[in-house]
Structure 1
């Protein structure tokens, strides 16, 4: 992909109404559960973006029919689980696709090789492989132990007990949970605590139940999953993505004014919706309606001490807000951000420093002294990380001279971001 740059112009108070793309997390899970169902499924408002299309492409390689229309995705499960791919399954830099699909592929029979970009080869998958080996799957990393590329050879998952170490990523645990109903016998899935980003596990479990899997919670760190079982065919509407909404909520908080985002529901299970609670404490007014959320800001924010383990993807956004807040903001308990699309603790610190913001990088977080942001000393690098591109675009609404390098990175999760951004008055070239 050719690298592009965008120069952002500051604006005054914003006023916008933004229709959100479908949730990336929900779309991935809906596609996989539909592929494991016992009949055709239909998914509406699915996120059409690089990562979700990588998942769809991988499912096609495994023999699943995926017809991605403009308004509807139709999925017909493979006649046998699975067709053995002739070529390696390439998953770009999608950690979600990789970790979840490893377990999904292992739920069938055959030999499967997974690979991706150089950055994906630096993102760990060892805990998923360890769990799969417990259930009878042969796993072999082809370069570095615990990292892609990886070959798995499976005759299906055995039943029994499996312990998952999800302290680095909840995706390790979600992968095993989604695949568990396909095992030869009942599975008890247990996990080590604390689980990183646990709301994503709660999302996985809720979607499993909605799709006909009647599991039982065993204490605080286990789930008993009956197997073998089929998922019910889905007729599923994906709600709007709270992660994508966050940049528009942040624009209202930073510049003042009002932004309405929809569809976001009051009972959303997306962990990133909890950013609204942070914004409220920082000084914004939040109005939650049946169809969406309105954020009203004054442009004045207060620094905070935050444990963001449950919503790490919001750290770049909060870091940008913290640069303008009164006082110090401390962000902690997010060491797992170092294995995202970039090492987000380091890359956010480096880019904030260009604005003259005093920032200290900790092993598991950041300390940011607010109120001192000025025009940046140079262009802002995205490191091919979609979250950095969007978060620092918002920063450009408040200070002059912001140019985003690698602006195309937004295509990973929000291809229409720049079009929506224009509605804030945030002009870019």
Structure 2
């Protein structure tokens, strides 16, 4: 069934404390979400595609390796431009998903189109991430999947070279990726797919909009006019050039630094029309005391010297919860975040982990079923465990701007989506590259 990824050594790191307002213009790597979707659509297209400005990180390299293992030609030797040439998908192959939700949920539907056995496994923590709804949906669409234990990794897709497709009902309240994975492969299904979500609201709606937008850009016919229903017609996907935007989620800790220190951070190269939820981020940062401006220079966030408390439903932008929690602990009034119960099933139980680690540093946090209540008070330094979760590391770094002596047990986990994070962060705080 394959083996889990070997345990890597931890890399301790002391979060640098800011003595002055930060002032930085950054060029960050490309969006993980866009890179992952572009890779899948390109591997299923009828001709070659290029990805300009892709994210090179553990998650996207695992995605590229998984598609390559099934027969697609994926060249990532050039950091600035990746090339994908589709080819007949075949097994046997093994896909190492690492801890990437995109790989474990986007690639199994593709594997159903392959001929042969495709096994999936990853890091030990990956075996706890929710996959049952996707497994059930694929089986109802005609895909054979063998699972050794509960509906989670490790698993084997026994591809028949075709997927019948059709209509499927799914509870995707645990992750929008459960829907996106089905939609991305659906144009290649014989009857396409109609996905109906039944259950609590699907989180991270902007990611679903990105999936639909990119499918249409590749030539797919997608109807999402009815709430919680997505219909994709069968048909060819067109190879094309993808321009990958800078990663907005990855930028949030840097923008938070502007608020904490009363400084200014510009993300260069930001497009005026974005597939990412920039307007929602602008609203949240402004409510917390920041000034946000989009210009030819990029997306700029300025701090005003005061961080304000915030009450918000973050269900559509749950990836921001860790960094916003760190900001909230440095605010002038309490905060309350709701709508993020699903992040308990991310790389770690993020709600519990944030409450546990920041409480150990003296914070006053109350954990609820679907969020956190934060009452600011002085914090102290100490060890902060990251649980192999890049967003936990980002949160600790934000708090460390104002609190000396916060020591991350492992900053290398940031390589999941931004290997450059420690160097970029230190350069921003110290002003030295």
Report the TM-score range of the alignment, normalised by the length of the smaller protein: over 0.9
Where does residue 334 of structure 1 map in the other structure?
Answer: 340
Runs of 5+ in structure 1 lacking a partner? none
Deviation at 1:224, TM superposition (A): 2.2
Q: Is it true that 1:201 corresponds to 2:208 in the alignment? A: yes
Compared CA separation, residues 216 and 374, structure 1 to 2 (3 A)? closer
Compared CA separation, residues 272 and 340, structure 1 to 2 (3 A)? farther
Where does residue 13 of structure 1 map in the other structure?
Answer: 21
> Which residues of 2 match residues 151-166 of structure 1 at below 5 A?
151-155=156-160, 156-166=162-172
Distance 2:428 2:256 in 1: 11
Q: Is it true that 1:265 corresponds to 2:274 in the alignment? A: no
Compared CA separation, residues 272 and 365, structure 1 to 2 (3 A)? farther
Which shows bigger deviation, 183-192 or 317-326? 183-192
Is residue 241–residue 264 contact of structure 1 (8 Å, CA) maintained in 2?
no
Q: Name which of 384, 391, 404 aligns with 2:388.
A: 384
Which consecutive aligned stretches of 4+ in structure 1 deviate over 3 angstroms post-superposition? none
Where does residue 313 of structure 1 map in the other structure?
Answer: 319
Q: Name which of 140, 161, 179 aligns with 2:185.
A: 179
Q: Name which of 223, 226, 235 aligns with 2:233.
A: 226
Distance 1:349 1:263 in 2: 35
Distance 2:278 2:415 in 1: 19
Distance 1:112 1:282 in 2: 47
Runs of 5+ in structure 2 lacking a partner? 1-7
Distance 2:367 2:252 in 1: 23
Q: Is it true that 1:51 corresponds to 2:59 in the alignment? A: yes
Distance 2:211 2:415 in 1: 24
Where does residue 81 of structure 2 map in the other structure?
Answer: 72
Where does residue 407 of structure 1 map in the other structure?
Answer: 411
Q: Is it true that 1:113 corresponds to 2:104 in the alignment? A: no
1:336-370 alpha-carbon deviations (Å, 9 max, x no partner): 11111111001111111122111011111110002
Where does residue 42 of structure 2 map in the other structure?
Answer: 34
Distance 2:148 2:122 in 1: 12
Distance 2:224 2:363 in 1: 45
Deviation at 1:272, TM superposition (A): 6.4
Q: Is it true that 1:421 corresponds to 2:425 in the alignment? A: yes
Compared CA separation, residues 255 and 157, structure 1 to 2 (3 A)? same
Q: Name which of 199, 219, 224 aligns with 1:217.
A: 224
Distance 2:246 2:253 in 1: 13
Deviation at 1:333, TM superposition (A): 1.1
Deviation at 1:405, TM superposition (A): 1.2
SS across alignment from 1:423: helix
Compared CA separation, residues 360 and 10, structure 1 to 2 (3 A)? same
Deviation at 1:218, TM superposition (A): 4.3
Where does residue 394 of structure 1 map in the other structure?
Answer: 398
Where does residue 3 of structure 1 map in the other structure?
Answer: 10
Q: TM-score, normalised by structure 1?
A: 0.95
Deviation at 1:259, TM superposition (A): 0.6
Q: TM-score, normalised by structure 2?
A: 0.94
State the aligned residue count: 421
Deviation at 1:109, TM superposition (A): 3.0
Q: CA RMSD in A?
A: 1.6
Where does residue 3 of structure 2 map in the other structure?
Answer: none
1:135-158 alpha-carbon deviations (Å, 9 max, x no partner): 111122113x21100112232211
Is residue 35–residue 64 contact of structure 1 (8 Å, CA) maintained in 2?
yes
Deviation at 1:427, TM superposition (A): 8.5
Is residue 242–residue 273 contact of structure 1 (8 Å, CA) maintained in 2?
no
Distance 1:215 1:425 in 2: 45
SS across alignment from 1:331: strand
Distance 1:187 1:412 in 2: 31
Distance 1:217 1:187 in 2: 12
Q: Name which of 152, 167, 171 aligns with 1:147.
A: 152
